[in-house]
Chain A
Amino acid sequence: MSVSLTMIPVALALRVVMGKERFNNWIESMELPKKTNFKSQRDLISTVKQSGYDAEKWGSMIKTHIRGEKEFFFWEVRDGSWQAIFSKYDSRQMIENFMQTLEQRANRRIFIDTEENLHDEIIAKKVFPTNFYNMDLLKQVLQDNDMYAIQDKNDQIICDLGNAQLLFQQSHPESLITVELVQTADMEAVFRHLSLLDEDYKHYIQDRAYQDMKEKAEEKGLTIENEQILEDNSIVLTLSIQR
């Protein structure tokens, strides 16, 4: 053995880490607090429970589940009042539904409208980096995932997810593709779609590298002697050098 190499295809960057854990970390820093007029912890717990939700004590906070066990948020005292701490990327619809339902069932006004809360209703427009360099390949991956996408005259790819619109842009053929999230109602769903795209794009890159090796090895004086697929789905090729 003489040399060991680590390489990365030019169509790929490994800068953005996608996946559920990453999303959870990211979401923690994106809080969306909603002020309430609960007078005390007892008032909060009894009102929430009587309205059909749970209210578990978690240290100084109260945890409430919404949509069964799948989603939850915490109630916390901030600036002297109890606040519901949602995430900026929770579905706006889900938050609104919860707030309305709670107020209807409790038969009283609970959440306080503030300028900050009103500001939160403005739809966020954000730009994020991706791991993609190749627009044609990305378009292919979008189509194969049944994500409706069109390429406009500026070569931007617009992808409609129904409750969100993604705008993929590349300022220069060698620059990283960015994704702009427009009209985003449910950030978690969007992040799931982006994670799926990221995974599929990488599978295409793996397949392309394998095909390139099969097609071009011979002309470079190499013969594929053995092929193997490992448990982690890595492809291992053993090449012998022609003399």
Chain B
Amino acid sequence: MEEKIVVRIFPDGRIQAETKGIKGEKCTNYMKVLEEILSARTLESTYTEEFYETEQVKIRQTEQDYLKTTL
């Protein structure tokens, strides 16, 4: 899936952003990028199930790597 960010800038100055197709902690990096570009600070962030799923995959992968090196 293509990686995208949809940014909505409201007339009252508020900004909402959603990342699409960006997996794991890479999302968090883009939060900082958006804050820098827009001279803004994040008030609230909500991680979706997909974020946690990809995190779990990474944890499992890390566990597997650990087992490979220890066995």
In the bound complex, residues from chain B placing their C-beta under 8 Å from that of A9 are 13, 15, 38-40
In the bound complex, residues from chain A placing their C-beta under 8 Å from that of B66 are none
- B68 interface contact, C-beta 8 A: no
- B8 interface contact, C-beta 8 A: yes
In the bound complex, residues from chain A placing their C-beta under 8 Å from that of B54 are 2
Number of A-B contacts (CB under 8 A): 152
Of the listed residues B16, B34, B39, the one surrounded by the most CB atoms of chain A closer than 10 A to its CB is B39
Minimum C-beta distance from B53 to chain A (A): 10
Minimum C-beta distance from A136 to chain B (A): 13
Interchain CB contact under 8 A, B4 and A225: yes
Q: How many residues of B contact A (CB 8 A)?
A: 46
Determine the interface band of chain A, counting residues with CB < 8 A from chain B. 35 or more
Residue of A nearest to B3 (CB): A241
- A114 interface contact, C-beta 8 A: no
CB within 8 Å of A: which of B18-44? 18-24, 27-28, 30-31, 33-44
Of the listed residues B3, B7, B21, B31, the one surrounded by the most CB atoms of chain A closer than 10 A to its CB is B7
Bound CA span A205–B11, Å: 8
Interchain CB contact under 8 A, B37 and A7: no
A226-243 CB mask vs B (1 if < 8 Å, else 0) is 000010111111111100
- B65 interface contact, C-beta 8 A: no
Interchain CB contact under 8 A, B40 and A241: no
Interchain CB contact under 8 A, B42 and A5: yes
CB within 8 Å of B: which of A199-243? 202-203, 205-206, 208-210, 212-213, 216-217, 220, 222, 225, 230, 232-241
In the bound complex, residues from chain A placing their C-beta under 8 Å from that of B8 are 230, 234-237
